[in-house]
């Protein structure tokens, strides 16, 4: 098998899966769930799927290792990916290597952030990525293993070992895996990757260092205006990093809510503007000590209010999920960006 971070072959003899998992755990390669054995034959199949992408990888912080494709493939094999998932995983890695993503900071923070991976374009259906009912949850191999593979790469290549470099106070279940697809078919506006300048026929991975999804439940509102009031209330959180660290956030609108908003004439831009205005946090909800901290770091209130982003463009919007009157808010680490990478095929 290939070493997990270096281009070196390790002879594991005739270890079975159970013995390999014990060995991998001792080496610090495991995320705590069972791993698949990354044999040379399996790794070679994965490498073949990205032969058309010859761009070098940047050094992966904080260890600053330049990963080999074989080492990356070994992590994807261990995660339980199919070979055809590997181009999505490598595109996600390229996304988190964007300097503005701040990989070192997002891995070393005490915050609970984890990489959010959203897949857009035709590859969603080719790989059976869940874009609809329970898209943030269990049940699809692609969703479960693509996000997990990126997490294993950050553990084994970047060195984000819990309690050592990864200093997260409480962590987040999304650290195991957080991958979903856009529901472009029920999006009444423009798909997210097209908003970002890609062609509709492009397959794109979007990454952001975020928390897990926060549910926005609204079964009562029958108007777009009412829905935005509910959404903004759920986003208005004095405990979120975005209130002082600023930075991006996602609102993932469920198809039923999206249809109501579209019916009432709301666009992506007008939703973004309304949410930014309505989600402000009144100073009465913020401790005096925190107000001092915010002001000394340059985040001063606007009158009696604090905004949860620098401007409306910090709010990123798309549609995912299935039937039901639920949407989701995903705040970010704050000191990060939303990075999009076209999947090379």
pLDDT band at 266 (very low <50, low <70, confident <90, very high): very high
Q: pLDDT tens digit string along 26-48?
A: 999 999 999 999 999 999 999 99
9, pLDDT greater than 70: yes
**pLDDT the model gives residue 297:** 80
pLDDT tens digit sequence for 85-111: 999 999 999 999 999 999 999 999 999
The H or E element containing residue 152 is helix 141-153
Q: Which two tokens stand for residue 53?
A: 């992408």
Query: How long a stretch of residues is the chain?
Result: 345
Measured in whole angstroms, the distance separating CA 285 from the mean position of its chain's CA atoms is 29
Task: Say which residues have a Cβ less than 8 Å from residue 313's Cβ, sequence separation at least 6.
Answer: 272
The half-sphere exposure of 111 on its side-chain side, counting CA atoms within 13 A, is: 23
Is residue 4 scored above 70 in pLDDT? no
Measure the CA–CA gap between 155 and 152, rounded to whole angstroms: 5
**Sign, CA torsion 200/206/210/215:** positive
Interval 12-32 mean pLDDT: 92
Give the per-residue pLDDT at 234.
Answer: 97
Q: What is the structure's pLDDT at 5?
A: 57
pTM, whole model, 2 decimals? 0.95
Residue 249 token pair: 């956030």
Residue whose C-alpha is closest to residue 279's, from 333, 241, 318, 243: 243
For the CA atoms of 146, 147, 153, 154, what is the dihedral angle to 10 degrees? 170
DSSP code at position 55: P
CA distance 316 to 330: 10
Distance CA 335, CA 237 (A): 17
pLDDT band at 245 (very low <50, low <70, confident <90, very high): confident
Cα first-last separation, the chain: 26
The pLDDT of residue 144 is: 98
pLDDT at 13: 75
What's the pLDDT at 1? Answer: 52
Average pLDDT over residues 130-155: 98
- Give 169-220 pLDDT, tens digit per residue: 999 999 999 999 999 999 999 999 999 999 999 999 999 999 999 999 999 9
Convert the pLDDT of each residue in 277-306 to its tens digit. 999 999 999 999 999 988 888 888 989 999
Task: Report which secondary-structure segment, H or E, holds 147.
Answer: helix 141-153
DSSP string, 207-236: EEEE-PPEEEE-SS--SHHHHHHHHHHHH-
What is the band of 3 on the pLDDT scale with cuts at 50, 70, 90?
low
The CA distance from 309 to 212, in Å, is: 18
**In the prediction, which pLDDT does 300 show?**
86
Mean pLDDT of 150-166: 96
């Amino acid at each position: 098998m290939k070493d997990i971070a270096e281009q070196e072959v390790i002879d594991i003899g005739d270890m079975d899966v159970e013995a390999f998992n014990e060995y991998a755990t001792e080496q610090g390669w495991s995320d705590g769930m069972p791993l698949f054995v990354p044999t040379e034959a399996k790794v070679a199949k994965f490498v073949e799927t990205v032969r058309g992408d010859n761009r070098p990888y940047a050094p992966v912080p904080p260890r600053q290792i330049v990963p080999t494709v074989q080492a990356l493939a070994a992590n994807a094999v261990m995660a339980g990916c199919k070979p055809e998932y590997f181009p999505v995983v490598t595109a996600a890695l390229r996304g988190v290597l964007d300097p503005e993503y701040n990989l070192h900071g997002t891995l070393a923070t005490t915050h609970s952030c984890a990489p959010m991976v959203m897949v857009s374009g035709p590859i969603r259906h080719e790989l059976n990525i869940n874009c609809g009912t329970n898209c943030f949850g269990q049940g699809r191999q692609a969703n479960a293993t693509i996000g997990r593979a990126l997490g294993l790469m950050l553990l084994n290549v970047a060195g984000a070992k819990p309690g050592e470099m990864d200093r997260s106070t409480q962590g987040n279940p999304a650290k195991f895996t957080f991958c979903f697809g856009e529901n472009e078919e029920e999006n009444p506006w423009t798909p997210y990757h097209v908003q970002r300048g890609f062609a509709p026929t492009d397959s794109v991975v979007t990454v952001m260092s975020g928390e897990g999804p926060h549910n926005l439940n609204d079964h009562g509102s029958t108007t777009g205006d009412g829905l935005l009031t509910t959404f903004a209330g759920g986003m208005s959180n004095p405990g979120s990093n975005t209130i002082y660290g600023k930075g991006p956030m996602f609102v993932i609108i469920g198809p039923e809510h999206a249809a109501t908003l579209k019916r009432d004439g709301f666009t992506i831009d007008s939703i973004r503007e309304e949410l930014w205005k309505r989600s402000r946090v009144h100073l009465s909800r913020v401790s005096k000590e925190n107000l001092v901290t915010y002001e000394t770091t340059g985040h001063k209130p606007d009158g009696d209010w604090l905004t949860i982003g620098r401007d409306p463009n910090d709010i990123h919007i798309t549609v995912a999920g299935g039937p039901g009157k639920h949407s989701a808010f995903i705040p970010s680490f704050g000191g990060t960006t939303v990075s999009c990478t076209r999947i090379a095929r």
